[in-house]
Amino acid sequence: MVKIDPDRLMADLKQLRSFGATGPGVVRLSLSPVDLAAREWLAGRMSDAGLDARIDGIGTVFGRSRNPGPALLIGSHTDTQPTGGWLDGAMGVIYGLEIARALGEHDATRNLAVDVASWIDEEGTFSGLLGSRSFVGEEVDSAIRDAANRQGERLEDVLAAAGLAGRPRAQFEPGRQLAYLEPHIEQGGRLEAIGKAIGVVTTIVGMRELRLRFTGQRNHAGTTPMAIRRDAGAALVAFIATLNDAFKQLADADTVWTVGRIDLEPGSMSVVPGTADMYLQFRDANPARLQAMESALAELVRDFNARNAVSVELQTVDEPIDPVSMDATLAEHIARAAEAVAPGQWLRMPSGAAHDAQVIARCMPACMMFVPSIGGVSHDFIEDTAEQHIVLGCQVAASAAASMLLELAAKAA
């Protein structure tokens, strides 16, 4: 079995953590100065590992093995949320780096090709999943032209200022890159709750994001009797309760929905809100259930408008994302490696979060594996994973990677 170096793995993870460290967490937004510094450091570490490394024209760090294919591509992201954890995405990238080194240090695997990627902007500071979308050949030039961050900085300007504009972009190499592996923290509490150490991902869930705008009549909060009010805020709150009841009738244990933002206009305690916006997201691994939830929501809107003085309009915020199944053959390599390294300590499970793997799956077979998140917390400074689980997960990933590559090489021979 290929053996990783736990000390080297943890040293690199902790060094990456230092770029943007904020208390126990990290603030490393895509293409910020600290993110660019981290990418330069990462490219250097990839070069030290014998990979041909570069930062491409949109900021993806790509390390290409000097060995001929077939190649296994291992990747994730190193950008963070505004209040990010130190392992979300970063762990998978450093796993890839360590696996490339570990395979190169063993006679049986030193000729195998592992490419490593840190995709730009998975978290959507400018345009979500931008690096992987570019890699698979999606037309992203319009997104680059139009995208800006919350501070109003245009992506085109930031790339130019960083000296990246005009550089070639990393692109999928058909015939060479034959499989993709993305290791990741779970970002939920299932593994910890049942005492398991490894999750073998079956599906990345689909997602819908919508805005519901309630329109009533702005009026004085002291002089307008309750009986004649057209209170958009009160209507919105009542609608959420109805929505919850309807979705519960359709849901299974993995279905989730979230009202993540509410805006009231004008937002004064002395004014009855005239408009109210509610931002709704729902996710599920079953496309039929997603469709049923969409249909139920549309029916609730029609019924609400027929019965109320306040009206509601349903608008799409972003393009629908459909569920993506992970490759069963690759998943079996992970399962066998998990059973060999941690017998009985793994399970198959869906991913409730979006990942670059769902994009990469458009051009090659893709798979994912999880390690536990302490308390099920992610996208927060306190996000963490026990060191023994980080090391164990990397050993499982390395064993699975070697198995995948040996099988791919045998088929290509």
When the pLDDT of each residue in the chain is averaged and rounded to a whole number, the result is: 96
Position 319 confidence tier, pLDDT thresholds 50, 70, 90: confident
Q: Is the pLDDT of residue 413 over 80?
A: no
Distance CA 36, CA 55 (A): 9
Confidence (pLDDT) at 166: 92
- CATH tag for 6-204+323-412 (out of 3.90.1150.10, 3.30.365.10, 3.40.630.10, 2.40.50.100): 3.40.630.10
State mean pLDDT over 127-139: 95
Position 194 confidence tier, pLDDT thresholds 50, 70, 90: very high
Confidence (pLDDT) at 226: 96
* Tens-digit pLDDT profile for residues 226-251: 999 999 999 999 999 999 999 999 99
State mean pLDDT over 306-331: 94
Pick from 141-150, 218-227, 305-314, 366-375: least confident: 141-150
State mean pLDDT over 32-61: 98
Confidence (pLDDT) at 179: 98
* Distant-in-sequence, close-in-space partners of 274: CB < 8 Å, separation ≥ 6: 215, 216, 217, 218, 219, 232, 265, 266
* Tens-digit pLDDT profile for residues 271-302: 999 999 999 999 999 999 999 999 999 999 99
Confidence (pLDDT) at 411: 87
Q: Are strands 25-26 and 219-220 parallel, antiparallel or unpaired?
A: unpaired
Confidence (pLDDT) at 117: 98
Q: Is the pLDDT of residue 354 over 80?
A: yes
Helical spans, DSSP H, in 22-175: 33-48, 90-104, 130-135, 141-146, 155-161
State mean pLDDT over 155-165: 97
Helical spans, DSSP H, in 30-89: 33-48
Confidence (pLDDT) at 195: 97
Q: What is the dihedral of CA 71, 411, 329, 120, to 10 degrees?
A: 10
Confidence (pLDDT) at 90: 98
The residue with tokens 């770029």 is 19
Share of the chain above pLDDT 70, in %: 100
Angle between helices 328-341 and 387-412 (to 10 degrees): 130
pTM to 2 decimals?
A: 0.90
Confidence (pLDDT) at 305: 98
CATH of domain 206-316: 3.30.70.360
Tokens in use for 377? 């917390």
Q: Is the pLDDT of residue 69 over 90?
A: no
Share of the chain above pLDDT 90, in %: 96
Which residues sit opposite 280 in a β-bridge? Answer: 210, 259
Confidence (pLDDT) at 217: 98
Helical spans, DSSP H, in 169-256: 190-194, 232-250
State mean pLDDT over 323-348: 97
Among 411, 387, 410, 367, smallest CA distance to 7 is for 387
Confidence (pLDDT) at 277: 98
Q: Is the pLDDT of residue 1 over 90?
A: no
* Tens-digit pLDDT profile for residues 89-98: 999 999 999 9
Confidence (pLDDT) at 412: 80
* Tens-digit pLDDT profile for residues 7-37: 999 999 999 999 999 999 999 999 999 999 9
* Tens-digit pLDDT profile for residues 196-207: 999 999 999 999
Position 366 confidence tier, pLDDT thresholds 50, 70, 90: very high
Confidence (pLDDT) at 113: 97
The ranges assigned to domains in the chain are 6-204+323-412, 206-316
